[in-house]
Structure 1
Amino acid sequence: MTFRVIQWATGAMGKACLRAVLDHPEAELVGLYVYGDKAGRDAGEIARREPTGVIATRDIGEILALDADVVIHCARLAPPYGSHDAEILQLLASGKNVISINGYSRPSHWTGERREAMEAACRAGGTSLMAAGLNPGFAAEQIAVVATGVCQALDHVEVVESVDCRAVRNPDYVFRILGFGSDPADVDPNDPAWGPASSLNGMYEEVLAAMAKHLGLALERVETDHRVFAATQELGVAAGVIPEGRIGHVNWRWNGIVEGQPKLTMSIHWWMEEAHLDEPDPPLWRIRIKGHPGVRISIDLEKREGDTTATSAEQIGVAGAVLNAIPHVVAAAPGLMTRPLATPFRSRLADA
């Protein structure tokens, strides 16, 4: 079986997904939506592959008119969370399943008009919406939850992610979307109206909701405990310069409250210098489960030996997570999905 795929956006993660689709024998690229000046170019050229005959477009109408099994939605984060709902609703209603790498881990967590609109779009198109990726997608909703399978009692689960952001090149993304370079005195990171928080809070509330669903916990609410740290010196990074005293490290923290106590915690360190890290050279993820027994897991990703491309192990991992999720979202009954606990690699996607 061959899955017909539309790739939506070609930033760093989107381009990695595009290459994965082009390279996989059971995936057929049938459409490509882009931003900026990439419209009119062959998808193969954008991905540094052979010509495909699929020409990139900025016309949503052209994408909606295509016959496809799934859209891999990799639009860049933009405040507030849910800002991409309108285009996702159109895609779902047009008969295309959607996999998002930037949220939608548990869209059924929400109540009211937003959820109703998503469910209506799925009904209209006979389609499903699901998240896939690393975080959201893999570290908390799959690995951490599965690791609790040895516990007779569960007290607390914490997933800590540490990301070196120094190589991120896009200044708008680094300084506006992620909040680096801002004056800490002018920022309340726990103000839900602050741009970066407005992009991320809803996304990671869904992550905790998905974990709670898998664990059979009644999530009462999510509380934030975000922290920002000033650069100890002027930092020259790929996106520009962060002056001394401006934000050079953000620790995002979300606590899922169950029976009045923090039961689930997601902690993400985005850093431009190592001065404020909890430990030197941290792994990509550290999972800490307190219970009977407790569990500690450290996880890093690494590239295949001999791979000299500029694509990072994390980007390759996102693309792999998306590919392995495709048969699950295509086979699902129409509606809002919480990603299954296991979406492992298969030598043939159709065997998933």
Structure 2
Amino acid sequence: AEHLKGDFGSSLSQVAEAMGLPCDDIEAVGELSATRGDLDIAAGKVPAGTVGAMRTTITCKHQGRPILRFRANWYVTTDIEHEWDLRESGWRISTEGDTPVKVDITFPVAEEDYAAYTPGLTAHRPINAIPAVCAAAPGIRTTVELPQIVPLYG
């Protein structure tokens, strides 16, 4: 969790700063959950009682109050000891406040195609950011400083 705190905490801090709620503390929590039964996966066997899921939660706080939270669940099965409300794939996004919003995004990709599909979830945004980065002033730039990254086709 501490390793991911640096990665995801930096992004959360940038967003918090842009919102006018600078992050004064970042908390990282890691959790593990065991499989309930034996499992065969592409990488081999996962015996019952061994780690079947891990979850990392990074929370950005402003004046002691949580303002942004990122949670990643990595798992080989949803049949685990803890009730983490795991699903096949996707992201859940929720906001609280004056305009609360809940968004569920799923990836309708066949299991056998998943390994070829998922790297794009990470790569597409940086690849599409190349023109904006090249046009920016020299130095390190953040997502907040760059224009909105929109994929262009054609």
What TM-score does the superposition give when structure 1 sets the normalisation length? 0.38
1:262 equivalent in alignment to 2:74: no
> Tell me, what secondary structure is at the counterpart of 2:22?
coil
Distance 1:338 1:310 in 2: 30
1:139-150 equivalences under 5 Å are none
- Tell me how far 1:251 sits from its aligned partner: 1.0
- Tell me how far 1:237 sits from its aligned partner: 1.8
- Once the two structures are superposed, what CA deviation does each residue of 1:121-165 show, in whole Å capped at 9, x if it has no partner? xxxxxxxxxxxxxxxxxxxxxxxxxxxxxxxxxxxxxxxxxxxxx
Partner of residue 294, structure 1: 100
Bigger relative contact order (CA 8 A; separation at least 6) = 1
Distance 1:311 1:248 in 2: 18
Distance 1:200 1:235 in 2: 27
Show structure 1 runs of 5+ residues with no match.
1-196
1:285 equivalent in alignment to 2:91: yes
Distance 1:244 1:226 in 2: 21
Distance 1:267 1:346 in 2: 30
Distance 2:123 2:105 in 1: 18
Distance 1:318 1:327 in 2: 18
**Structure 1 counterpart of 2:133, from 310, 315, 329:** 329
> Tell me, what secondary structure is at the counterpart of 1:222?
strand
Percent identity at matched positions?
Answer: 26
1:1-352 equivalences under 5 Å are 197-276=1-80, 278-279=84-85, 281=87, 283-302=89-108, 312-339=116-143, 340=146, 342-347=148-153
Number of aligned positions between the proteins: 148
- Aligned residues of 1:301 and 1:314 also touching (Cα < 8 A): no
> Which amino acid in the other structure matches residue 329 of structure 1?
V
- Aligned residues of 1:301 and 1:313 also touching (Cα < 8 A): no
> Which amino acid in the other structure matches residue 79 of structure 2?
A
- Aligned residues of 2:5 and 2:26 also touching (Cα < 8 A): no
- Once the two structures are superposed, what CA deviation does each residue of 1:45-103 show, in whole Å capped at 9, x if it has no partner? xxxxxxxxxxxxxxxxxxxxxxxxxxxxxxxxxxxxxxxxxxxxxxxxxxxxxxxxxxx
Q: Decide whether aligned partners of structure 1 residues 309 and 274 sit closer, same or farther in structure 2, where only a CA change above 3 A counts.
A: closer
Q: Decide whether aligned partners of structure 1 residues 223 and 229 sit closer, same or farther in structure 2, where only a CA change above 3 A counts.
A: same
Distance 1:288 1:220 in 2: 22
> Tell me, what secondary structure is at the counterpart of 1:336?
coil
Runs ≥4 residues deviating over 4 A: 308-311
> Tell me, what secondary structure is at the counterpart of 1:345?
coil
> Which amino acid in the other structure matches residue 9 of structure 2?
E
More strand by share: 2
Distance 1:343 1:314 in 2: 19
Greater Cα shift, 253-262 or 274-283: 274-283
Q: Decide whether aligned partners of structure 1 residues 310 and 243 sit closer, same or farther in structure 2, where only a CA change above 3 A counts.
A: closer
- Aligned residues of 1:234 and 1:244 also touching (Cα < 8 A): yes
Q: Decide whether aligned partners of structure 1 residues 302 and 341 sit closer, same or farther in structure 2, where only a CA change above 3 A counts.
A: farther
Distance 1:273 1:336 in 2: 39
- Tell me how far 1:280 sits from its aligned partner: 5.4
Show structure 2 runs of 5+ residues with no match.
none
